[in-house]
Amino acid sequence: MYSTFHSLHAQGDISEEKKEFIRNERTFHLMLNSNGWGGGFMYGKMKNIYRKQLWNVEFVSIKDPKEYRVSHPYYPDLRRFVFGKANEMYNFRFGLGQQFNLFDKKDRGGIEVRLFYHTGLSVGVLKPLYYITSESPRVEEKFDPAIHSPYDILGGASFFKGFNELNVTPGVYLKAGSGFEFSQREKFLNVIEGGVGLDVFPKKMKIMANDQENFLFFSLFIVYRFGKIINPRAKMVNNIGQTKSDKKSK
């Protein structure tokens, strides 16, 4: 009987930290997509106890599902490469959104359940890829399906090769999903999120030389988000209190 009561009590431990009424959020996140990876920053401003306004900035890579990285058997020291890849694709997202709390966290061991969406500007960047096709003398070329076979590629050129030929295309994006906040600290956040995303561009973006070009990029994602609760009113009150204390000490 005692052990059962003790177990139930442990699951409902009440945090001794001061509860923040205004719960603005400032978080960073790491993200895995079904077509790449990324990271970013988000700020959430509390509008009421159930809703936050979101500002989101993200950087993501977008890969073709047919990519397969290999190395040349006779040149294993050269960079590995994806045969037939024409461009690396990166994406910068700048968006606004909303977050809705479905279930609040009541105690230190609880979980807060959220729904969210954000949409905005998606800036797609294509960087041409160069391949090493000869070592003596060293020759670096873009992939040409008409002349290059797997045996013609010795390795990948430097990652920085091609940055002077970037192709930038603005578009739009939409993301939506749900999340679970599980931090045991009142002023810190640990969140796992999952959902779906869609990037849309006004023209087709080429990743693989022999593949069909796309202007729609759909993805599934999972995110780990970490950060802090920001209460500007509490900070202002603390500053006023500190100022009064300083005046009294003088």
Domain ranges of the chain: 22-70+83-125+164-249
The pLDDT score that the predictor gives to residue 151 is 84
242: confidence class by pLDDT, cuts 50, 70, 90: low
| DSSP at 150 | G
pTM for the full predicted model: 0.80
Give residue-wise pLDDT tens across range 229-239.
Answer: 888 665 544 54
- Are the beta carbons of 29 and 225 closer than 8 angstroms? yes
**Alpha carbons within 13 A on the beta-carbon side of 181:** 26
In angstroms, the CA 32 to CA 194 distance is 10
Please state, rounded to an integer, the average pLDDT across all residues of the chain: 85
Using alpha carbons only, give the angle 137, 143, 149 rounded to the nearest 5 degrees. 85
d(CA 29, CA 40) in angstroms, rounded, equals 5
DSSP E strands: which ranges in the chain? 24-33, 36-48, 51-62, 69-70, 81-82, 87-103, 112-128, 130-135, 138-142, 155-156, 167-181, 188-205, 214-230
pLDDT in tens, 183-214: 888 789 999 999 999 999 999 999 998 878 89
Does the pLDDT value for residue 81 go beyond 80?
A: yes
> pLDDT tens-digit profile of 10-35?
444 545 555 556 789 999 999 999 99
Which CATH number does 22-70+83-125+164-249 carry?
A: 2.40.160.20
